[in-house]
Structure 1
Amino acid sequence: MSSESQSRFGRGASSMVSAVFISKILGLLFIIPLQNMIGGYSYGLYYLAYPLYTIMLTLSTAGFPLALSKSISDLSARGRHREATATFQIVGRAMLIFGLVSFLLMWFLGPLYLKFTIPANQHTLQRDALPAIRALAPALLLLPLMSAMRGYLQGYLRLQPSGTSQVVEQIVRVVFILAGAFIVIQLGYGPRVTAAIATFGAVAGAVPAFIVLRRAVIKTRREHVRKTRTTEIPKIKARSVLWKLFVYSLPIAMGTLVLPLSQQVDAWTVPRELIASGFSIVAATVQYGIYSGEALKLIQLPLSFANAIGASVMPAITEAMARKDRNLGETRLLLTLRMTGFITLPGAMILSVLALPINLALFKSTAGTDAIALAGVMSIFSAIELVSTYILQGYDRFYTPVWHMGVGLLLKLVFNLLLIPLLGIDGAAIAGIIGYFVSSWLNMSALRKTTGLRIYFFRLTWRTWISTAILGICTYGILRLYEYMTTWMPIFHASRLLALGAVIAGLVLGGPIYIAVSIILRAVDQEELLHMPMIGPLLTRLSRSF
């Protein structure tokens, strides 16, 4: 049972990471043609709708999906599948209600939101932005229920449907937005309609993803209810179920707020400290935009991988605890930390070493390059902090990582105040490294006390660190060649095309070298390699030849 369950966890975690990778890459790539196609004004209207949508979606889901997955995994491990189904049905109905309320609030409060967001004298902008908001609102009718479905499936460690639905959602969304925008522009419609079509892509993507999830949920329910056909249908009070999940979801939601809260600390302190140091208001705002819109934006990709791994491990740890199978829980814990290192470390290295060409290729600027390099280091500790938070909460240590997060944020605030006057936005990045390092160190200490294992991240992943160091040498050679060409060949000075070529070379050459060294050093085992997207079987065959 443990071997089968462990394999299911490995496949599921890999599928989630693969789905996140594909979804994020699609999300990044389609922005370039969209912006060129619809123009700056329509693009601005498109993004004006999303803050309100994000707030409504967060309020309607919070930490419920992960709390539900934890509850389902506990019930399934005890063989109480009918109770798990009843719990899901209660939560599903609640999510439908929350989604309907969120939809109505977004639809009818859209004009009020725009009045607070846009200056009062900009009536045309307010009028043009409203259709984009209302075109986005119907997505809230489906997404909360979809989050409940994902929580139910993740509770049974059926993570592949969740990953598949994310990819399907993103593909349909991107295709609909680009095709829809092209058609309405050809028909001569203005920015209002163009932006509304673009935001409606979220609805178009949600529909097929909902179908994928619904089919997976029906199949899973039938499969497990069949095992308990003779069991009496439990009578569960909806109020008690929702209250229990609320108690679970509150610390889980708080634990996932570490990055938004860290960014909020920066929003409070970075512009203010820069102005106090002698920067003008405009210059301080520009510097803050470089830090938040470039350096912090780039670490979203490795952190989204860490979030996918963490969301997979929480129900897996809960299941092992419910089975009283300590060895299974420890195996999953160690596998999760190794996967976190294997995925996060090379991304951090490439981001730090190739910060200059990445900055120029993506943002047409060299300003903030040091902050981007430091953000690469930050991504390592923030990933460890995030994943260890999920693991601790899987062991029912709900509030421990929340307290550690608070310590990290306090240190972040203190060092922001100390370092920004001296180092500018680089000081904010260093403060972030310190804050995440301390909170991740505290989490790892708590894991050692909770499990009784002598778990040290560096000791556990030292082979991955060596592979990453060799990757760093390779990418540094590419950086030096790039710097030589820009220095001695004026035609390439500040060339975005050359910068993009350097980044692609780093990925194309560095990636295979990193994987090959990892296989030679046994930084990953064959089970982990087998479930890597697309190239897994090939890598597994190669690893057997060493």
Structure 2
Amino acid sequence: MRPDSDETKFRRGASSMVSAVFISRMLGIALIVPMQNLIGNYALGLYQLVYPLYTVMITLSTAGFPLALSKSISDFVAQGKLREASHMFSIVGRFLMLLGIPAFLIMWFAGPYLVGLSVPGDAMRIAAIPAIRALAPALLLLPLMSAQRGYLQGNFRLKPSGASQVVEQITRVIVVLVALIIAVKMGAGPSATAAIATFGATAGAIAGFMLLLQSVKKMRRETLRRLPHLKKSTLRARSVLRDLFAMSLPITLGTLVLPISQSIDGWTVPRVLVASGATLVNAFSQYGVYSGEALRLIQLPLSFATAIGTSALPAISESVTLRNPALTRTRLHQALHMTTLIALPACAVLFMMARPIDIALFRGTDGVTLIKATSIIVVLSGLELVTTYILQGYNAFYRPVVHMAAGAILKLGLNLTLIPLYGIVGAAYASIAEYALSSWLNMALIRRISLQRISYVKLSVRPFLATLVFGVWLYGVERVGYMVAHALTLDHSRLLALTILLVGLALGAPIYLLATIFLKASTLDELVHLPLIGRLMNRFLRV
């Protein structure tokens, strides 16, 4: 296979994953508003009470298996061991299918008691039981779906993996909204409507599973046509599962960077604020703005970094297995370059448009300073996530976890030091330092392992200059918009804030793209492979 086709394969795969993540996340966000209007705050509270337990169960039942499996399969494919790759998927698929059964049983029978640990009395626990049990069947499918995605990603079939996420979310939205409209008209109570809302995940899982199943069948048929002349696989289930468990553990730990950082904030921020003189109510109000507004907003761009990383891991692993340093270098630079091209403008949007974002989404300006302070986390945490996946592609599984722990320790110390000096903003400064340290350690290790000189100028300086042009435009739109708003006494209008935001982004996107080309931060060929906008550019320019 020619390097050129491999480069295109990686760019297109990463782009499709990022696009799928963006669409599915936006659909998930869009669902909350009509759902809240239909079922009310109490039923929504039951829904939110159940979902954290579901998330934990998914994590425990799938762990880092999809990425570990994709890495192992990409290694086999690189060596031409297609029978072993197919056999490994069969072993892991059967195991994860069986693992779904205890996950379902725990959720069904023990879920009500586990949820009851976090709420006083039995009334809310009993009311949440239908929602818990409507969600439980999804756990029968999700572990097997993780194996299917790992198999497809290991074979660089990233589009079906991404498409399944979109289909899953679309099905969830349609089922939930249609069923809720019918249920509300029939007079269903909060317990029933919360159950309908959670059942959307099960319906989505069924749709996603069917799409993945067809893609896997097609992939395996293609493989079987090339298998007759190959030797029989000698893989043993016990050794395969043991090795994948050992590989999936550090991968799972690497994905816990942001949750661990947020847990440290949860343990320390309110306590330090109270110790510094704030009332308990004020301390938790400030923390609510920080965690519920500022940190929530960075989740979407960070999910892009995760999508790039999950594409980079098997790609880097394959080129390392092939002992092709030129291809490895190309894929390494592509992953880091794509991260900066997305993360830097995302940071600019959050920083320059903090006020209209806060008013449009949260109806106030309490979070403006915090949104600006946390915007830099998008870049640093994004680099940390992607470099973690790259290092795992180089078989350096535990060193990124050590770097993550070093960053977490630094954050803990800085939280205790900076919050008394700067208030709640000190927690944001501590997070910036945390991700700066861990991403720098990861980058330094990549240079040592790869024996390649990474061009920091190409990686960051030119994209930064293009982002600066984009930022100036956003600043101008925001200033002019609020000068008009002040004159019309519409400073806190949500509609005006949304208008300023949409104008800034709609006209700012082409400005940013032109700036990247003019400043040679990116080539036209790279831009047409960017997620979402790449296809539009490709059609417009007929490249």
- TM bucket (normalised to shorter chain) is over 0.9
Q: Who is 1:101 aligned against?
A: 102
Q: Which residue of 1 aligns with 2:518?
A: 520
Matches within 5 A, 1:282-321: 282-321=281-320
Quote the Cα distance in structure 1 between the aligned partners of 2:193 and 2:538.
47
Partner of 1:144: 143
Q: 1:19 to 1:486 in 2, by over 3 A?
A: same
User: Could you tell me which amino acid in structure 1 is paired with residue 334 of structure 2?
Assistant: L
Deviations 1:293-317 (A, max 9, x none): 1111000011000000000000001
Matches within 5 A, 1:187-266: 187-266=186-265
Match of 1:505 among 489, 503, 506: 503
Contact persistence 2:482–2:491 (CA under 8 A) = no
Q: Which amino acid aligns with 2:197?
A: A
Could you say which residue in structure 1 is the equivalent of 2:85? 84
CA shift, 1:538, in A, is 4.7
Deviation at 1:524, TM superposition (A): 2.6
Over the residues paired in the alignment, what is the CA RMSD in angstroms?
1.5
493-502 or 468-477, which deviates more: 493-502
Note the alpha carbon deviations across 1:207-236, whole angstroms, 9 max, x for none: 111111111111111212322212232232
Q: 1:110-189 counterparts in 2 under 5 A?
A: 110-120=111-121, 123-189=122-188
Give the whole-Å Cα distance in 1 for the aligned partners of 2:231 and 2:330: 35
Distance 1:113 1:77 in 2: 45
Q: Which residue of 2 aligns with 1:280?
A: 279
Question: Which residue does 1:404 correspond to in 2?
Answer: 403
Residue number in structure 2 paired with 1:421: 420
Q: CA deviation at 1:194?
A: 0.6
Q: How far has the Cα of 1:540 moved from its partner?
A: 4.3
Aligned mates of 2:439, 2:433 — CA distance in 1: 10
- Conserved in 2, the CA contact under 8 Å of 1:337 and 1:457? no
Aligned to 2:473: 474
Partner of 1:65: 66
Q: Residue 115 of structure 1 aligns to which amino acid in structure 2? A: G
Counterparts in 2 of 1:254 and 1:294: CA distance versus 1, 3 Å: same
SS of 2:197 mapped into structure 1: helix
Contact 1:172–1:204, Cα closer than 8 Å, also in 2: yes
Q: How big is the shift at 1:462?
A: 2.4
Equivalents in 1 of 2:459, 2:124: separation in Å? Answer: 54
Q: Answer yes or no: is the 8 Å Cα contact 2:112–2:128 preserved in 1.
A: no
Give SS of 2:74's match. helix
Give the length in aligned residue pairs: 542
Write the distance in 1 (CA, Å) between the matches of 2:497 and 2:215. 44
The one-letter code sitting in structure 2 at the alignment partner of 1:519 is I
Deviation at 1:408, TM superposition (A): 0.8
Tell me how far apart the structure 1 counterparts of residues 207 and 169 of structure 2 sit (CA, whole Å): 10
Whether 2:9 is the aligned partner of 1:8: answer: yes
The C-alpha deviation readout for 1:107-143, integer Å capped at 9, x for no partner, is: 00122113211102xx332221111111011110111
> What letter corresponds to residue 537 of structure 2 in structure 1?
L
Aligned letter for 1:426? V
Instruction: Report SS of the residue matched to 2:304.
Output: helix
- Give the aligned residue type for 2:5: E
Unaligned ranges ≥5, structure 1? none
- CA distance in 2 between partners of 1:528 and 1:30 (Å): 33
Larger deviation, residues 90-99 vs 217-226: 217-226
Contact 2:251 2:397 in 1 (8 A): yes
Q: Check the 8 A contact 1:405/1:439 in 2, yes or no.
A: yes
Mapped to 1, the partners of 2:515 and 2:253 lie a distance apart of: 38
For the 8 Å contact 1:21–1:305, the answer to whether it is kept is: yes
Residue 456 of structure 1, CA deviation: 4.5
What code does the residue aligned with 1:133 have? Answer: I
Amino acid aligned to 1:539: M
Query: Whole-Å Cα distance in 1 between the matches of residues 30 and 67 of structure 2?
Result: 29
Change (3 A) 1:60 1:84: same
TM-score normalised by length of structure 1: 0.97
Asked whether the 8 Å contact 1:88–1:148 carries over to 2, the reply is yes
Q: Output the TM-score relative to the length of structure 2.
A: 0.97
Q: Give per-residue Cα distances to partners, 1:333-375, cap 9 Å, x unaligned.
A: 0011110011111111001111111111111121121111111
* 1:322 equivalent in structure 2: 321
The alpha-carbon deviation at position 530 of structure 1 amounts to 2.8
Match of 1:56 in 2: 57
1:353 corresponding residue in structure 2 = 352
Q: Distance in 2 between matches of 1:125 and 1:238?
A: 44
- CA separation of 1:27/1:447 partners in 2, compared to 1, >3 Å: closer, same or farther? same
Q: Within 5 Å, give how 1:377-392 maps onto structure 2.
A: 377-392=376-391
Given that 1:519 and 1:543 are in contact with CA atoms closer than 8 Å, whether structure 2 keeps it comes out as no
Other structure's SS at 1:117 match? coil
Distance across 1 between alignment mates of 2:112 and 2:337: 48
Superimposed CA distance per residue, residues 28-65 of structure 1 (whole angstroms, 9 cap, x where no aligned partner): 12211111121111111111110110111100011111
1:493 pairs with 482, 488, 491, which one? Answer: 491
- Cα deviations by residue, 1:123-176 (Å, 9 ceiling, x for unpaired): 332221111111011110111110111011111111000111011111111111
Unmatched runs of 5 consecutive residues or more in structure 2: none
Q: Which AA in structure 2 matches 1:498? A: L
* CA pair 450-543 structure 1, distance change in 2 beyond 3 A: farther
Find the aligned partners of 2:457 and 2:32 in 1 and give their Cα distance.
37
